[in-house]
Amino acid sequence: MNNEKEGKASFFALHHPLYSSQLFTGFGWIIFTLSLSHLLLLAVAFLFFSYKADKEELWLKERYPEYEEYKRRVKKFIPWVY
């Protein structure tokens, strides 16, 4: 993408750094509390953020044709993994 977002470090590693930070924080809380109910809540949050991110990416592909190439290079939530 040829806009100011491309140069930001957080967008260099993944598409949705705010969603990722919420998921990683939730995962840390689950490890701290060892709570199955929190694990279920995190799974629901992951599904919600994934759905929301997919909708946003459709809009971005329409607005920025070069987004497809950026999407191939950069992962959605977990750097170099997913």
Q: How confident is the model at residue 82 (pLDDT cuts 50, 70, 90)?
A: confident
| Whether pLDDT at 3 is above 50 | yes
Nearest to 27 by CA among 49, 46, 2, 52: 46
Distance CA(69)–CA(6), nearest Å, equals 12
Annotated domain spans of the chain: 10-73
This prediction's pTM: 0.79
pLDDT tens by residue, 7-33: 555 577 788 999 999 999 999 999 999
pLDDT of residue 13: 78
| Whether pLDDT at 70 is above 70 | yes
Mean pLDDT computed over every residue of the chain:
88
